[in-house]
Amino acid sequence: MSSLSNMSAEEISELLDEYGIKHGPVVDSTRNLYEKKLKEAMAKGKKAKPSPDKTFYREEEEEVTYVYRTPAKSEDVRDSRTYMRSRPEWTERELEHRSHESPKYTKEDFPTYGQDAPKAPKSSRLIPLWVQFLCFLAVAVFLYLVFSSMESNEPLKVIE
Amino acid sequence: MSTTSQKHRDFVGEPMGDKPVMALSGIGDTLGKKLEEQGFDKASVVLGQFLLLKKDTEMFTDWLKDATGANSRQAGSCAQCLKEWCDAFL
């Protein structure tokens, strides 16, 4: 590892970003401090430098999604779906699939996809969607009952 | 407000203008001299450093402790003082 003091300001800045350290410009008065911070971060063995070839993603609770910038294997086809939900970047590989998919960020199924992923297209929620709807309906019904049982003349009239 | 000193309130209450570095909360004679030796001869120069560190009080505290040997209380006090000054006037 080259000595920190020999690095250019830009390199220091990049290193700081890699370690996730929020920082300002690397100038004379701040350089010393940032070098120290980097040494501490390296000693603690914080988040390692990300490999230049892939981006780590933790979009959903159960899966870690990798996006490969190099030509992909078939399993990455599935990954690109999850990836697409949140990142506006397009990799070379995804350009192929662009005709099939639209760049939306909602969690949609992709019916034109040749291979349906082994994983269910359902997104992973703690509480299944239908339960959520049920709860919402229950609350709505409850509120309606409360309103209808009110003695006031026009319980449903709102601000005009 | 109960935890701020008079010095803090004096500093934060008006534009710092040409105030010396000793006017900063937490900076007394010893620390003030050390800062002046390093070229930080006015409060505004220290403000400059604070701004370079993107107004991050933690970073600034670390820097100050490092540069002058200030303890946590002094450095924290100075950082807080500058932060509030910035909130009011910057």
CATH number for B34: 1.10.150.40
Write the CA distances from A56 to A16, A68, A71, A118, integer angstroms. Answer: 18, 10, 17, 21
Domain boundaries, position B49? 6-89
Domain total of chain B:
1
Would you state the pLDDT for residue A61?
55
pLDDT tens by residue, A120-138? 555 677 888 999 999 999 9
Q: Could you tell me the pLDDT band of residue B86, with boundaries at 50, 70 and 90?
A: very high
Q: How many angstroms separate the CA atoms of B7 and B29, rounded?
A: 14
Residue B1 located in a structural domain: no
Q: How many angstroms separate the CA atoms of A91 and A80, rounded?
A: 9
Note whether A23 contacts B: Cβ–Cβ < 8 A.
yes
Phi/psi of residue A147, each to 5°? -60, -45
Write the CA distances from B86 to A13, A110, A158, B11, B57, integer angstroms. Answer: 25, 51, 45, 11, 12
Q: How many angstroms separate the CA atoms of A32 and B67, rounded?
A: 10
Its pTM surpasses 0.80? no
- Name beta bridge partners: A57: A65
- Architecture, CATH, for domain A1-45: Orthogonal Bundle (1.10)
**Structure-block tokens of residue B51:** 């701004």
With a cut of 80, say whether residue B7 has pLDDT above it.
Answer: yes
3 state SS of A6:
helix
Number of CB pairs < 8 Å for A and B? Answer: 29
Note whether A37 contacts B: Cβ–Cβ < 8 A.
yes
CB contact under 8 A, A33 and B54: no
Would you state the pLDDT for residue B51?
96
Q: Could you tell me the pLDDT band of residue A3, with boundaries at 50, 70 and 90?
A: confident
Note whether A33 contacts B: Cβ–Cβ < 8 A.
yes
Please give the residue of chain A at the shortest CA–CA distance from B49: A29
- Sequence ranges of the domains in chain A: 1-45
Would you state the pLDDT for residue A114?
47
Would you state the pLDDT for residue A5?
87
Residue B72 located in a structural domain: yes
Residue B39 located in a structural domain: yes
- Residue A83: DSSP 8-state: H
Write the CA distances from A38 to A30, A43, A149, B52, B71, integer angstroms. Answer: 12, 8, 66, 18, 22
Of A22, A29, A37, which is closest to B52 when you measure between CB atoms?
Answer: A29
Note whether A28 contacts B: Cβ–Cβ < 8 A.
no
ipTM rounded to 2 decimals: 0.86
